[in-house]
Structure 1
């Protein structure tokens, strides 16, 4: 029981790359109970919402004989004599498969999961292995082009973090000796979102927890809607509002982003809306919570309830935060705006690549590639 194995938390699986970003060395005796086991070249499918909808499906390449990870993974292992692992990986990553899986989820809101039976019942085209490898190689090359665009976006996200640290210093050590307050000092209101049931069609788009990214952005893909009469003003966001994900898995709880508008939208009950006082910058609060120190703070304070972690609105408002001058916060907000403009352009290009890739996937598994 002293064998070293690879350990992969949910946060170490990238929905963008479709891969494990890093693995930890653990003793098998420490993880043999309470975790999911897998092997090199298995495909990991996150089963819980919103990870599944966000595309946390990865081809596992690990350096140890065995891997262990979250119990929220389904492990799909192909029969090597009939099914190529990369071919299987690309098949499961198709938008149509993920959309069908979302419709088949079971469980209560916030804890819905894709059942094992859904994956077992999927029908997959099975051309000869040589043809599977050819298709997988074409999709791999096309996906690599998409990855370059995503890498450029990631570098801009890193630039945002660097600008924050340069202007305000590391919040953990507060080298610029700003006075310390709490987030509530910078806000005029903190409100929970709507508990109305959302649908694929409706009048008003509603932002849910999967529309907030771990990097601190608003992702408007996979929107759902509610009727106009149920979209009360108190449950709407406007440009400059902060959205805080109060309930999620432990790795993802506390995701924070600033809504840039311009269209008013509703926001769901697993989110908290923070509206800043005049002269205070929402981007500064978001930058703080998305810093390494901010994320560590959130991880340390969340409470686990039946597999989900929670930080309520009162606790959110009570988080200690340095209080730099308003003019410096506004300078930071201006720089964020410039970086985001460049990021949005790259994101549009990336979305176009994504649509082209989805078309290529469809042709590949329809037998016309």
Structure 2
């Protein structure tokens, strides 16, 4: 088995002449990042005219392999071999690398090669850019060493993996269905709470199709009237060199209902910035942009001293409404598409400080008791979902171990069943 650099096996981010041959009014497949998933989850149903995607998008064609370049999508192993494009051509997010296999490498074998443990880990190590928006460079793909068996052996390996990974994918699909069912139940609980479904009597219209009515005795008002909000400190080149280094939260630390602190960075906060940018127990942290836009969680005060960066909003209670009420409203609003980017879908959306303050939310009379009751139910659902998610991670790790072993020649696919690795 020889080792060959990727640039000798496939074109990396090549030109796509088939796109140029289309007329401006011709439609072709459009693939935003959220539609890029392996297997049956890949969504190639969207189309755009050539004129509407002529600039600012990545171009590809049938038979290409798409590799997400931005964190955390890259690490999730969401590379796909693309087929069935409308007119055989597509455009999509600029956060995609394109690999066009040459005659020396089987396309499916190449797809499995970019799903090995070593590929994903080495790519993660080569990322560049600011935290939360790091990307894998072209050079990493071009210089990637690929262990290359004969074409016949490549096809045997790919066929073996097609068969043996199907077992994993079936289990993963079933677990995903269970997790989705829990998520639907969670949203139903939030809808019940925010709409005051336990209340009787005539409701008050909100004007929102996704939450059309609240109890008549409730009001609807802007966030700024019930909470104080603050955007975190902007990162700068001197952040790591100042004398007052303190840990801070960024959007990568905040997910729905949870805040991770295992990988906190530090930054210089001067004495006059301590009050403005510190977080305290009970503060709601809200993601300002990126894939996690609007995701929110309450800080539990686990650290004696902690601060926050500009990618986060800090929300504090300033009236009768608990911050958890806003957190659940954001959860439902995002699930209903309220914060999706408009216009250029390739643009990463943002929830600015002014947009957050101007959001209108239902204002209950008994918010604390409603939040407490709903939170207890959601905590139980979250515990079950966490266990299922951990099981999914183990399945994905075993699937990746099987792929790595087969692609790198650690197992002989002509005799191996693959069952021992996956079970």
Find the aligned partners of 1:135 and 1:240 in 2 and give their Cα distance: 49
Measure how far apart 1:358 and its partner are: 3.8
Matched, 1:43 2:65: yes
Gapped regions of structure 1 (runs ≥ 5):
none
Paired position in structure 2 for 1:149: 175
- 1:236-278 per-position Cα deviation (integer Å, ceiling 9, x unaligned): 7677643322133xxx362313257685476544122324458
Paired position in structure 2 for 1:34: 56
Paired position in structure 1 for 2:311: 270
Paired position in structure 2 for 1:316: 356
Paired position in structure 1 for 2:138: 116
Write out aligned runs for 1:162-177 (5 A): 162-169=188-195, 172-173=208-209, 174-176=212-214, 177=216
Q: How many residues align?
A: 356
Write out aligned runs for 1:295-314 (5 A): 296-299=337-340, 308-314=348-354
8 Å contact 1:193–1:272 — kept in the other structure?
Answer: no
Gapped regions of structure 2 (runs ≥ 5):
1-22, 196-205, 412-423
8 Å contact 2:64–2:99 — kept in the other structure?
Answer: yes
* Closer, same or farther: CA 82–71 of 1 in aligned 2, 3 Å: same
- 1:135-156 per-position Cα deviation (integer Å, ceiling 9, x unaligned): 3432343243233323322221
1:291 aligns to what SS in structure 2?
helix
* Closer, same or farther: CA 235–88 of 1 in aligned 2, 3 Å: farther
Find the aligned partners of 2:174 and 2:278 in 1 and give their Cα distance: 35
Find the aligned partners of 1:228 and 1:108 in 2 and give their Cα distance: 14
Find the aligned partners of 1:193 and 1:363 in 2 and give their Cα distance: 45
8 Å contact 1:303–1:309 — kept in the other structure?
Answer: no
Measure how far apart 1:82 and its partner are: 2.1
Write out aligned runs for 1:72-111 (5 A): 72-79=95-102, 82-85=105-108, 87-109=109-131, 111=133
Cα RMSD (Å) of the superposition? 4.0
8 Å contact 1:302–1:309 — kept in the other structure?
Answer: no
* Closer, same or farther: CA 167–267 of 1 in aligned 2, 3 Å: same
Find the aligned partners of 1:278 and 1:236 in 2 and give their Cα distance: 20
8 Å contact 1:42–1:75 — kept in the other structure?
Answer: yes
Matched, 1:187 2:227: yes
* Closer, same or farther: CA 229–293 of 1 in aligned 2, 3 Å: closer
Measure how far apart 1:24 and its partner are: 0.8
TM normalised by structure 1 equals 0.77
Write out aligned runs for 1:8-19 (5 A): 8-14=31-37, 19=41
TM normalised by structure 2 equals 0.69
Paired position in structure 2 for 1:60: 82
Paired position in structure 1 for 2:385: 343
8 Å contact 2:30–2:44 — kept in the other structure?
Answer: no
Paired position in structure 2 for 1:289: 330
Find the aligned partners of 2:193 and 2:334 in 1 and give their Cα distance: 15
Find the aligned partners of 2:351 and 2:298 in 1 and give their Cα distance: 20
Decide which structure has the larger Cα Rg and report it. Answer: 2
1:310 aligns to what SS in structure 2?
coil
